[in-house]
Amino acid sequence: MVERFKYFLKIFLCLFLSYFFIELTFKVITFKNILEWSTLRILIFNLSSSLLISFLLSFFKEKVVKIVILILVLFSGVYAITEMGFNNFMGNYMSFNAAGDGAGRVGEYVIEFIKYIKLEYYLCLIPFIIILIIFIRKKDILTYIKYDYKQRALLAIIIVFSYLLGYTTLVIPFMQNSNQIKSNLKLYYEPTLIELSLRQFGTNRFLTRDLIYMVMPHNNNSSIIIDEEENNVEQKPEEPNYIREIDDTKWQELMNNETNTNIKQLDEFYMSQNITSKNEYTGIFENKNLILIMVEAFDTIAINQDVAPTLYKMATEGFYFDNYYTPKYSCTTGESEYIGLTSIIPSSTVCTPNTYRNNTYTDTIFNLFNKKGYYSSSYHNWNDQFYSRTVLHQNMGSDKFYDVDALGIKIIQGWQSDYDLMTNSMPHFINQDKFFSFIITSSTHFPYDVDSTVVTRNWNKVKDLNYSTKIKRYLAKVAELDKGLEYLLSELQNQNKLDDTVIVLFGDHHPLKMGLGELNSASSFNRYEGFNEDRLPFIIYNSEIEGKTISTTASTFDILPTLANMFNLEYDPRLYVGKDIFSEDEKIVIFTNGSWATDKALYFSSTGKYETLQDGVDEEYINKINTKVSNWFTVSDLTLKTDYFKYRGTR
């Protein structure tokens, strides 16, 4: 029997041993642990895949089989290397659904990307090299043997059994993690939590499910769990005028008459959410102007009095949030921007600001200010090369988006000057009666291992600092940002609008390609603990407020509802993932892999483990927040796919 199946067995061993070696290498390097049930699941998945491919290849002659084996093993190794490199380069993992955008960003810095492929990643190519050598030196190692239909049938039965065995591992109790944010079965059909999927299923099976999900999305709408207690939370304001009144009569009527089950389910979910009460910060900036600035690679180390005195002034004399996080989603800058403007979780399988740029966005921060009679506009010192802002911002309510060409900014070597951005942007809004201006900077963009015009211009300010060269280059770029902020405050003062203008600064991500060790060496807290890699500054500045530090756990998702409350805009807090930071509602920082942070606990999705920050936190609490987070992932994805606000913009 063995002799009859020798051809098949040799093909199978080439594939199975190669695949499993690559999977183990990936798991050891990436997750530092193979002693978990997911390793057995990955072994079974690789067993079934190798059996199926070997069965199909056994119909062909040796030459074709050798070529296909080499291609498959090489592709598997390169894919694993790419996933590890992408994570090291961008801070997250790659989905083929979003590969066009991710690859585009990597393509711009292909040399940089190659630098971030560590030497140990190339271990994944060992199976390809070994098989190639064997095929070259032993040309007769594969000898074609034709099987009869009975032997083919037996192999087919074995393959079906192996697939059923693999499927069983998705539901068998001892192979599950009770604290996992999504069950393995649901994750299998909806591999949207990429890191968790890679850990549970391995690179090959994740790739297969990712491609299937791209072609045939699996929308399991029943996965939205309506928490009946959520909407029954009674507003208990200290003063009667803190009650936020919202009339749902028209919305309820629309929902009752709705025939689209997806839209109706979203109606039910959004209406089930708690209506956040007003508080002592409600309306403190009413009728003032707002300049919202998303600072490229805005890190806590940028708050340096010697290098950036204006930024330091704004941080110490304004509201400084020292427990604020910026989760990195697949299109880091574009999706942090998207979150800040919409408070919606981006889809993890596409680059959301590009894929959904034509959606209707009635409840963005642009449109909230528009309803109050503000002139809304947006500015960036680059073009639409990476993100379709010209279309997206218009659909979000910006009266006009000005890019580097529209602003007439001179192109320099390296990333653009934020001082030039401020000086060229301000004339477009400063003379408006009331304005909301969204500004996206770029001076502090990587790379930090080479010089640029901005670095050279400010090098004297940083050259004697006791930091690494990379950190000094970053701070030289911060100095350029600071000159822009200094101009902004000075010009507002000259126009007698400083007191009536609020400036808010948040970041899109920490300085990428810097290296966590270098960041840690210049930080005032341990960047390796918890989610401190993504713990960044958030500043709200106005010349009339008294500076204070606020330590409530918060994130990019909370920017919109917080500002909407402070400016007393007309908004429905139930429509946003985030919460008003000053409210009593629990704030949840949601990371792209399903991990989360609250004031009470930190939850690590890839392991299912958690760290308590307050007494009284148990698994019931963890599972409750997991359900909320899972709900918001599902609801946000469905909101985007159905273009929900096109139907409910006038609710």
Q: pLDDT (tens digit, 9 = 90+) per residue, 3-13?
A: 557 888 899 99
Structural contact between residues 573 and 544, judged by C-beta atoms closer than 8 angstroms: no
DSSP, collapsed to helix, strand or coil, labels residue 434 as coil
DSSP, collapsed to helix, strand or coil, labels residue 199 as helix
Please give the average per-residue pLDDT across 357-383, as a whole number: 97
pLDDT at 224 over 90: no
Strand pairing category for 548-550 and 554-555: unpaired
pLDDT digits over 271-295, tens only? 999 999 999 999 999 999 999 999 9
Strand pairing category for 435-440 and 375-380: parallel
Structural contact between residues 629 and 181, judged by C-beta atoms closer than 8 angstroms: yes
Distance CA 403, CA 389 (A): 9
Please list, in sequence order, all residues whose beta carbon lies within 8 angstroms of the beta carbon of residue 585, skipping any fewer than 6 positions away. 274, 276, 579
Distance CA 23, CA 17 (A): 10
DSSP, collapsed to helix, strand or coil, labels residue 613 as coil
- At residue 148 the predicted structure's pLDDT band, cuts being 50, 70 and 90, is confident
- At residue 141 the predicted structure's pLDDT band, cuts being 50, 70 and 90, is confident
Question: Starting at the edge strand that comes first in sequence, how are the strands of the sheet with 589-590 ordered?
Answer: 589-590, 596-597, 601-604, 609-612
Number of other residues whose CB lies within 10 A of the CB of residue 494: 10
Run of H or E including 596:
strand 596-597
Orientation angle between helical segments 332-342 and 559-566, nearest 10 degrees: 30
User: Phi/psi of residue 537, each to 5°?
Assistant: -80, 150
What is the percent of the chain where pLDDT is above 90?
78
What do you get for the CA distance between the two ends of the chain, in Å?
A: 70
Please give the average per-residue pLDDT across 296-300, as a whole number: 98
Domains annotated for the chain, with CATH where assigned, are: 6-215 (no CATH), 286-592 (3.40.720.10)
- At residue 105 the predicted structure's pLDDT band, cuts being 50, 70 and 90, is low
Please give the average per-residue pLDDT across 548-558, as a whole number: 98
- At residue 223 the predicted structure's pLDDT band, cuts being 50, 70 and 90, is low
Sign of CA dihedral 413, 415, 421, 424: positive
Q: pTM score, two decimals?
A: 0.90
What is the percent of the chain where pLDDT is above 70?
94
Across-strand partners of 300?
none
Please list, in sequence order, all residues whose beta carbon lies within 8 angstroms of the beta carbon of residue 607, skipping any fewer than 6 positions away. none
Q: What is the pLDDT of residue 494?
A: 97
Q: Comparing C-alpha atoms, which of 223, 640, 70, 218 is closest to residue 209?
A: 218
pLDDT averaged over every residue in the chain: 92
Q: Is 126 exposed, middle or buried (0-12, 13-18, 19+ CB in 10 A)?
A: middle
Distance CA 162, CA 21 (A): 19
